[in-house]
Structure 1
Amino acid sequence: MESTDAAMPASAHVGRVGLTVNDLDAAVRFYADVVGLRVQSREDDQATLGADGDPLVVLRADPDAPERGRGEAGLFHTAFRLPTRGALGDALDRVQERWQLSGASDHLVSEALYLSDPAGNGVEIYWDRPREEWPVTDDGRVGMDTLPLDLDDLRAAAAGGDAAPDGTDVGHVHLEVTDLAAAREFYVDRLGFDVRQRFGESALFVAAGEYHHHVGLNTWNGRSEPASAGTRGLDWFELVVPDDEAFEEVRSRLDSGGASLESTDDGLAVSDPDDIGLRLRR
């Protein structure tokens, strides 16, 4: 496993994801009825949905927000992790009854469903196989692949639930970036993630501890421009670092690397090399 002296504690994880949408009602219906989250708060121009009391998605309405440019970096997908295979079977039922499935894969470490929300944002819904079943490569990285998923077998495992159960969270966020080397310097050398898997010069998967990935980074669609503010799509995503000493070490590394840091009510905000917003909190 490739790592640096800058270590992110294994307890770190993805928190909330902030999305800008044109139609708030449509977005709320999708994340509630299809993904299975619960509406936790709703205002005229913003809604928060989550599971198990934890907020996971913050939707901000901007009817005039333009679509992200075809060449701009940004969100590939937000990945909602379910605690059981039965819950994923339930999610498959909801998607097939109420939406449209765009893909389904067996990644060896997980089984995943893929779709898009009403604004065109990529969404993954998945569950992890037990860690002792995850393949390990000769160099200590996690072995992942993209294989066909047996939907009939998954459907047979459905538990009969109509909502995402307690324990659901955002397992990872996958980003489209313009420069994989620059992204690696930020997410590995500055934030302190470990490289868990790399696919040539086109994709990198990084994580805290020994998770398969908390952040995916790819250049598959040839994005060549940084993210623009005010467009539809990803506004920011959050990384929770529940360790005061580790949090301050991350802050110090970002500061020494020349990052522009902004204090927030519960942490700090920074942008990655592609101007994708990241919030850090304890």
Structure 2
Amino acid sequence: MTIHANTSLGQVRLKVSNLEQSITFYKDIIGFDVVRQVGAEAHIGVEEDTLIVLEEIPDAIRLPERSAAGLYHVAILLPNRASLASILYHFADKQVPIGQADHLVSEAIYLSDPDGNGLEIYRDRDRTEWNVESNGDYVMASNPIDMNQLLMEAEEGSWSGMPQGTVIGHVHMHVADLEETETYYRDVIGFETVGNYRAMHAKFMAAGRYHHHLGFNIWAGKGVPPTPENAIGMTYYTIKLVNEEEIKSLIQRLEQANRSYKQEESTLWTVDPSGMTVRFVYQR
């Protein structure tokens, strides 16, 4: 059974080594609001909408790059191209080192937080501009962005923080096995494969024929272990289901597949084949 087309992503929880350092980065550089802060935890997002939860963990270790299954990057989706141009001006003003790519379906800027957690900030092209291969895969690339053209969309100094309508667009992860991961997210969770990029050793999956809500790769190596609990990285990411019927259907598929889960009121928790915790929320 396919997951509902209106399924989307919600908050992502990240482990950091220094909460105040991370709050400063996500507030002053990324442009998020601090929704609330309690002890070693801070909720950041747009106005009252939490998009990322930061958790300071004691004696945090930072793993070598691409050495474990876990977060590759959290992708923050902006509502329009002008917002991307505005934050690009802001990054230049703050001398923030970035990467960038035109993926044909989107335009993206890449950077990392102070602990090395990967971030993508992007805008989507209109769906009418997305091209599809005969096998159903979206045509994507990593071409350079025409920066001069992009910057024409906004004026220098126009940045004023993350705009309303900003959401978590997708999460891209290192996994231990691509085929096992695809089977789990397709047959148990209900996502559709929309990009099987063999040359890249990556698969993209989505609900409602989005270009991808979830990205998976084996760039850290096949069979890599999960990220340890005491290491910087992602604690969980959230999939937002549209109603209670969706959660009932999900539970049925989890039980049929002999996958364990835990339910707490309108939240369900499970762990994927690479050891990553997935949080499902729904409206009663």
TM-score, normalization: structure 2?
0.93
Q: Tell me which residue corresponds to 1:207.
A: 206
Cα distance change of structure 1 residues 136 and 263 upon mapping to structure 2, 3 Å threshold: same
The residue identity in structure 2 corresponding to 1:166 is Q
Structure 1 residue 86 and structure 2 residue 86: aligned? no
The one of 166, 169, 177 equivalent to 2:164 is: 166
Counterpart-to-counterpart distance in 1, 2:151 and 2:23: 25
What is the total number of aligned residue pairs between the two structures? Answer: 277
Alignment of 1:193-204 (within 5 A): 193-200=191-198, 202-204=201-203
Q: Deviations over 1:200-224 (max 9, x none)?
A: 1610000001100000000123252
Task: Give 1:89 deviation, angstroms.
Answer: 0.8
Task: Give 1:152 deviation, angstroms.
Answer: 2.4
Counterpart-to-counterpart distance in 1, 2:5 and 2:151: 33
Counterpart-to-counterpart distance in 1, 2:227 and 2:251: 23
Structure 1 residue 125 and structure 2 residue 121: aligned? yes
Which range is displaced more, 169-178 or 264-273?
264-273
Cα distance change of structure 1 residues 271 and 152 upon mapping to structure 2, 3 Å threshold: same
- Structure 1, gaps ≥5 residues long: 1-5
Whether contact under 8 Å (1:119, 1:232) holds in the other structure is yes
The one of 159, 175, 179 equivalent to 2:173 is: 175
Whether contact under 8 Å (1:35, 1:125) holds in the other structure is no
Whether contact under 8 Å (1:21, 1:63) holds in the other structure is no
Which range is displaced more, 190-199 or 245-254?
245-254
Structure 1 residue 72 and structure 2 residue 68: aligned? yes
Counterpart-to-counterpart distance in 1, 2:94 and 2:187: 42
SS at match of 1:83: coil
The residue identity in structure 2 corresponding to 1:165 is P
Whether contact under 8 Å (2:71, 2:173) holds in the other structure is yes
Counterpart-to-counterpart distance in 2, 1:99 and 1:44: 31
Alignment of 1:1-282 (within 5 A): 6-68=1-63, 71-158=67-154, 160-200=158-198, 202-222=201-221, 224-282=224-282
Counterpart-to-counterpart distance in 1, 2:3 and 2:91: 35
Task: Give 1:257 deviation, angstroms.
Answer: 1.3
Q: Deviations over 1:171-197 (max 9, x none)?
A: 000000110011101111110000011
Q: Deviations over 1:18-41 (max 9, x none)?
A: 001011111111111222111100
Which range is displaced more, 219-228 or 71-80?
219-228
Counterpart-to-counterpart distance in 1, 2:228 and 2:180: 18
Counterpart-to-counterpart distance in 1, 2:164 and 2:281: 22
Counterpart-to-counterpart distance in 2, 1:226 and 1:235: 11
Whether contact under 8 Å (1:51, 1:164) holds in the other structure is yes
Task: Give 1:99 deviation, angstroms.
Answer: 5.0
Q: Tell me which residue corresponds to 1:3.
A: none
TM-score, normalization: structure 1?
0.93
Counterpart-to-counterpart distance in 2, 1:16 and 1:105: 24
Whether contact under 8 Å (1:228, 1:275) holds in the other structure is no
Task: Give 1:62 deviation, angstroms.
Answer: 1.2
Task: Give 1:267 deviation, angstroms.
Answer: 1.1
Counterpart-to-counterpart distance in 2, 1:100 and 1:257: 45
Cα root mean square deviation, aligned: 1.5
Whether contact under 8 Å (1:34, 1:99) holds in the other structure is no
- Structure 2, gaps ≥5 residues long: none
Task: Give 1:251 deviation, angstroms.
Answer: 1.7
Task: Give 1:226 deviation, angstroms.
Answer: 2.3
Counterpart-to-counterpart distance in 1, 2:63 and 2:275: 13
